[in-house]
A and B are shown apart, each in its own frame.
Chain A
Amino acid sequence: MLTSMVQALLVLALSPLFTGLIRRSKAYFQGRQGASVLQPYRDLAKLFRKDSVLSHDASWIMTITPYVCMTAVIAAALMVPFITDSSLGFVGDLIVVVYLFGTMRFFMALAGLDAGSSFGGMGSSREMTVSAIVEPTILLSIFTMALISGTTDLSGISRNLATSGLDLVRPALFLALAAFFISTLAENARVPVDNPSTHLELTMIHEAMVLEHSGKHLALMEWSSMTKLLLYAVIMANVFLPWGIATDLTAIGLATGIVAMSLKLLLFGLAIALVESSMAKLRLFRLPNLLTVSFSLSLLAVISYYIL
């Protein structure tokens, strides 16, 4: 109980660092020096000092959305194993985690429509189009892992996989990982699906929905998005490749867990930065192609589990 709370706090605290790391790596690939990896913390601190401005047309949805989003990611953080494999697994399993993110997205889309600006609605409709394909992909790819390890509890999956050595490794794992990686890019507004650093309102997906938020509300929205990105990376690390995770609370176990996690996150951060630097954003109408590929991969993962 206590460990999972500490872990959740750690995830919240480290998420801006992870975003900063991706931005810094992108800057490096572009031959720029880039801002410090701590810059997202400074941005958040700045936003938290500011007041929120609300549109006259905005209803209560606009006000509660930042809190709903933040609550959803905190709840998800409690259920995802981070350094150790213990989490509040008895409260909810992978399906709950996926739909906590679903709730977050639902409220963000509503808030995008709520302010009545011309871009919010566009962002909401695009986000919903994308998530219609991404959501089943994520479920299927984590289901594959549940099938492999025999439980839908995320920490159970980690533990079973981590303790059984390489016995449980199957082709399905890698197919599911590939599908999940593409979904991570799509769900977290990264290139080639969305451009997190654009200023062009008309091309935005995620950013268009949060355009009308400001000050403290914006800080919460940004922070919850950063945490969501880190959580996806953690799920990738601990559900698909959990080796190294601490299975007990001994000093050696924890140290191994911390080192293994840092390495894996560094690797995923670099992978995301590399993908973002090496290709252009896709045309909006080409997105279904990419997302269908990831869906097919996850479907193949499930099928191959039964066949192979």
Chain B
Amino acid sequence: MSEDGLEGIVKELRREIGEDLRHSGPWDRGMQCEVERSHLAGAVGTLIAKHGASMVSMHATDDRQSRGSFALHYLLSFPSKRELLMLSGETDGSFTSLTPQIYHANWYEREVMDMFGLVATGHPDPRPLVLHDGWYKGSHPLRKHIGCDDGLAPERRRYEFNVLKGDGVFEVPVGPVHAGVIEPGHFRFSAAGESILNLEVRLGYVHRGVEKCLEGAPPGRALRMTERISGDNGVAHSLAFCQAYEAGHDVPPRAQYARCILAELERVYNHLGDIAGLALDTAFAVPAADIYALREVMLGLNARITGHRMLWGAVTLGGTRDLLSEADVDDVQGTLMKVGNELRTSVERMRSSPSFMDRVDTTGIVEEKVARDLRVVGPIGRASGQDLDVRRDHPYEAYSKLNFRVPLFREGDVSARMNVRVQEVDESISLVMEALDRMPSGGGSSRPGPPRDGVHVGLVEAPSGELVHIIHTEGGKVVRHKVRDPSFCNWPAIQEAVLGDIVPDFPLINKSFSLSYAGNDL
């Protein structure tokens, strides 16, 4: 029935632009359309404005060798429809910017400008996003004629920050090197006294050329690399890549359940770390120590059942490694029960402390409208009324057969983000219990062949939110691998969340977002 809906939308699009909708057809994730370049921006704009579509991801490909031009690809999802629409169109040199109408197109378009040297005409903020001042002018790393090892002579440019000027307004630069052992990122505050008037986040310090290195990589190597894109989301990243590469190939039922279990175990230890971090950043040392200890219990469990504390290496192409013997199942059940109970006690202690609640209530609010406009995903979105969860909206593996609730809050403050995570830990624990009960016996792995030529998408709910891997394959080889980490969607939101708060509350707000620098910078 929903298929009809998507077909209806495409038909309507055809009525509007006629022959310029060059090609449309079914696709393993919904439908795929190709639009004449002059209508590309218009078509995406219409779909978003009229049909409530939202842009899940957008990327470019350098097809100059095969087709003589670049191409842009928009991955759109529609409310209440499980299928996705991949809208593509050729482009040379420049394309029409959608940012003036669609806020969340902003960073995607800036990334395309940096990586491919295409110009988004009408973009309100065409400064570089990923490329830093040392990059050779005119070189764009994701174009085909630049290899990973080409030595590039740097030419210094100067990045201009957006800062407010005025009497008593101070510019406070923070980072990229911080006092703690955390990832590098630069924060530029404009502050009047302690109040934050403006914040600009500058990232890209851990850009490793992941997408470039993934081009043409053999699948086994690509799997291990994707796992390491953002280490604490390793299962999610490898799962998203597997989903894209397996492209419709069914993995054995046991592996489907095992993958869900791995993904939920990853969510539990990530959320525990984030909740403990909130206590630590408010100097509430006792619950912080208790919950970090629980995280350690989970990491120990991971090591016992997979041999790796962060669960790396457990997901394989076509399934999982041989996992979860009967003894392991008992271990997982026992450990999770204990962790769940102890977390409840610690969270109760945090919530009953007026000094802690005073720190988290009404701090760092992301308004619902802001969250919608920026398309904030994951727990941060769900704390601001954005009811998005890939596990429910685009079920993969065994999620369609499992029962779970998606916690939703509307306050959008640090406290709401904590509540979402606390409830998600509970849900994840019950999900794992159910999956362990229902997991059939049998083999856990299969051998998928190389995918058909074309474009394939992997969509996964990582602990930090909706994660997308898109691969373009030709002759069984991956020619373009686009990674869209949830942090890429959520970083712009922090710039909005801190407005009206004070400088010393920023670290707490940042912790409640718990964004990945590595996943964003690639």
Contact = CB atoms under 8 A, between A and B. Distances in A.
B283 A202 contact: no
Interface string B499-520: 0001111111000000000000
A31 B358 contact: no
A177 interface: no
B210 to A, nearest CB: 28
B194 interface: yes
A285 B174 contact: no
A229 interface: no
Given A198-B283, A201-B179, A202-B507, A192 B194 contact: no
A250 interface: no
B286 A29 contact: yes
A282 B359 CA distance: 7
A291 to B, nearest CB: 15
B289 interface: yes
A26 interface: yes
B503 A280 contact: no
A281 B174 contact: no
A282 B358 CA distance: 8
Interface in B169-197: 170, 172-174, 178-180, 193-194
A284 interface: yes
A283 B359 contact: yes
Residue among B174, B178, B293, B504 with the most chain A CB within 10 A? B504
B256 to A, nearest CB: 39
A125 B286 CA distance: 30
B355 interface: yes
B427 interface: no
A141 interface: no
Given A200-B281, A203-B504, A280 B359 contact: yes
A30 B290 CA distance: 7
A284 B504 contact: yes
B368 to A, nearest CB: 24
A30 B285 contact: yes
A126 B179 CA distance: 19
A202 B503 contact: yes
A126 B502 CA distance: 12
Residue among B172, B180, B284, B288 with the most chain A CB within 10 A? B284
A203 B359 contact: no
Given A200-B507, A202-B507, A284-B502, A277 B286 contact: yes
Contacts of A197: 283
Interface string A272-293: 0000111111111110000000
Interface in A222-278: 276-278
Contact of B506 (A31, A195, A202, A281): A202
B282 interface: yes
Contact of B356 (A29, A125, A280): A280
A44 to B, nearest CB: 20
A279 B504 contact: no
Contacts of A280: 279, 282-284, 353, 355-356, 358-359
B195 to A, nearest CB: 10
A276 B506 contact: no
Given A203-B507, A283-B358, A284-B502, A278 B281 contact: no
B452 to A, nearest CB: 50
B275 to A, nearest CB: 14
Contacts of A125: 193
B237 to A, nearest CB: 28
Contacts of A121: 170
B499 to A, nearest CB: 16
Given A31-B290, A198-B283, A201-B178, A118 B355 contact: no
Interface string A195-209: 101111111000000
A199 B356 CA distance: 19
Contacts of B173: 118
Contacts of B289: 30-32
Nearest to A29: B286
Interface string A206-217: 000001000000
A77 interface: no
Contact of B286 (A30, A122, A201, A282): A30
A9 B174 CA distance: 40
A202 B174 contact: yes
A191 interface: yes
B179 A122 contact: no
A126 B193 CA distance: 10
Contacts of B285: 26, 29-30, 191, 276-277
A191 B283 contact: yes
Contact of A281 (B193, B282, B293): B282
Contact of A199 (B180, B290, B508): B180
Nearest to A125: B193
12 contacts: A30-B285, A31-B289, A118-B173, A198-B283, A201-B174, A202-B174, A203-B504, A277-B286, A278-B353, A280-B353, A282-B355, A282-B358
